């Protein structure tokens, strides 16, 4: 699974690059004059870590390669089939004394019925944070055979997200193994999806201040009551849904820290923790983790001093 993820994690970079082949000698000079300098060579091709796997080939140029029988050089009948970006060509020699036949595919076919290029397209869209609908529409505007939106969603569910989960768990286990048995000084803070007290999700992170590596992240969802109204046959139905991870947005930071600390303390001890001056965190550490030295980070201290200064001298800034 890890090989799969790293292979297709890199392929999204390669599939999005245009490589000037310059193979047509008749128009080579014209093309060189026309193309801007930045299109002549991909910047990513200079990166040794990136494997450039795919090139753009015009369909009729590829099909013409199969117009002759490779055994007797007679004309050959062709039958083409596209499955997403995968082109399959069935070749049959027209010479009755030869009748050579073969099936050629433009990409490696994977075990689950799809091809390497189709997965690479889905992976490229996902890893680059693009909108799948817009990205697939772009390919259609180019006249390129491409996967459907439903196929993208299936690839995301079947291949990509399990790969991301696998790599995340693997990296997290490696981080924990590196700090196992150590006495750590950590710093932590939460990042919510919106400012103020109306956030729904928060990610709390704990960083090892020695190695500067993030040891643990936890996603916390606030308690929310949602009302969905559906109108059918002039009757309305009201559905209440509730997620009850915390009692409110102000509880999320403390909950995130609690989960992160519990995860880290399974393999290491925490001698000092640096956080903001969140009152619930101060109380939690004071009551539940008295052995951990609690420090406040200088950024929040400085911010507090500025607020006090502005309240005392409102016209000074």
Interface residues with Zn ion (CB under 5 A) are 69, 71-72, 74, 93, 95, 98, 100
Q: How far is the CB of 70 from Zn ion (least distance, A)?
A: 8
Shorter beta-carbon distance to Zn ion: residue 30 or 94: 94
Shorter beta-carbon distance to Zn ion: residue 69 or 206: 69
How far apart CA 94 and CA 112 sit, in angstroms, is 34
How far apart CA 59 and CA 195 sit, in angstroms, is 51
Shorter beta-carbon distance to Zn ion: residue 52 or 72: 72
Shorter beta-carbon distance to Zn ion: residue 74 or 83: 74
How far apart CA 60 and CA 41 sit, in angstroms, is 25
How far apart CA 99 and CA 81 sit, in angstroms, is 21
Shorter beta-carbon distance to Zn ion: residue 27 or 77: 77
> What does the block give as tokens for 130?
């693009």
Shorter beta-carbon distance to Zn ion: residue 92 or 167: 92
Residue whose tokens read 């960083």: 207
Q: How far is the CB of 64 from Zn ion (least distance, A)?
A: 17
Q: How far, in Å, are 38, 128, 175, 184 from residue 189 at the CA level? A: 42, 26, 19, 16
> What does the block give as tokens for 277?
């001056």
Q: How far is the CB of 72 from Zn ion (least distance, A)?
A: 4
How far apart CA 288 and CA 254 sit, in angstroms, is 12
Shorter beta-carbon distance to Zn ion: residue 31 or 92: 92
Q: How far is the CB of 88 from Zn ion (least distance, A)?
A: 20
How far apart CA 181 and CA 315 sit, in angstroms, is 53
Cβ–Cβ < 8 Å for 124, 140: no
Q: How far is the CB of 80 from Zn ion (least distance, A)?
A: 19
Q: How far is the CB of 68 from Zn ion (least distance, A)?
A: 8
Alpha helices in the chain (DSSP H): 2-15, 28-34, 37-40, 59-64, 116-127, 132-141, 149-155, 161-179, 252-264, 279-288, 298-312
Structure letter (DSSP) for residue 66: T
Structure letter (DSSP) for residue 75: B
Q: How far is the CB of 78 from Zn ion (least distance, A)?
A: 13
How far apart CA 313 and CA 317 sit, in angstroms, is 8
């Amino acid at each position: 699974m890890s090989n799969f993820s790293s292979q297709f994690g890199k392929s999204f970079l390669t599939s999005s690059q245009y490589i000037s082949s310059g193979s047509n000698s008749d128009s080579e000079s014209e093309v060189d004059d026309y193309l801007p300098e930045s299109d002549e060579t991909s910047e990513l091709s200079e990166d040794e870590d990136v494997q450039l796997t795919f090139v753009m080939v015009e369909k009729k140029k590829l099909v013409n390669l199969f117009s002759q029988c490779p055994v007797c050089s007679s004309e050959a009948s062709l039958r083409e089939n596209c499955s997403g970006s995968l082109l399959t060509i069935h070749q049959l020699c027209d010479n009755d004394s030869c009748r050579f036949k073969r099936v050629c595919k433009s990409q490696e076919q994977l075990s689950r019925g799809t091809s390497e290029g189709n997965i690479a397209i889905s992976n490229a869209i996902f890893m680059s944070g693009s909108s799948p609908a817009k990205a697939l529409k772009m390919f259609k505007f180019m006249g390129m055979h491409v996967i459907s939106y439903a196929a993208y969603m299936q690839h995301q569910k079947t291949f990509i997200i399990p790969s991301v989960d696998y790599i995340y768990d693997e990296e997290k286990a490696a981080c924990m193994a590196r700090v196992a048995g150590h006495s750590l000084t950590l710093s932590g803070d939460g990042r919510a999806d919106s400012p103020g007290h109306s956030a729904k999700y928060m990610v709390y992170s704990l960083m090892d201040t020695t190695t500067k590596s993030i040891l643990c992240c936890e996603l916390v969802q606030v308690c929310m009551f949602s009302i969905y109204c559906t109108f059918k046959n002039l009757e309305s139905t009201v559905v209440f849904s509730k997620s009850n991870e915390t009692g409110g947005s102000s509880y999320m930071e403390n909950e995130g820290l609690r989960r992160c600390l519990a995860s880290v303390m399974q393999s290491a001890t925490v001698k000092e923790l640096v956080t903001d001056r969140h009152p619930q965190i101060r109380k939690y550490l004071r009551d539940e983790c008295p052995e951990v030295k609690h420090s406040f980070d200088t950024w929040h201290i400085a911010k507090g001093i500025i607020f006090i200064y502005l309240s005392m001298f409102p016209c000074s800034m």
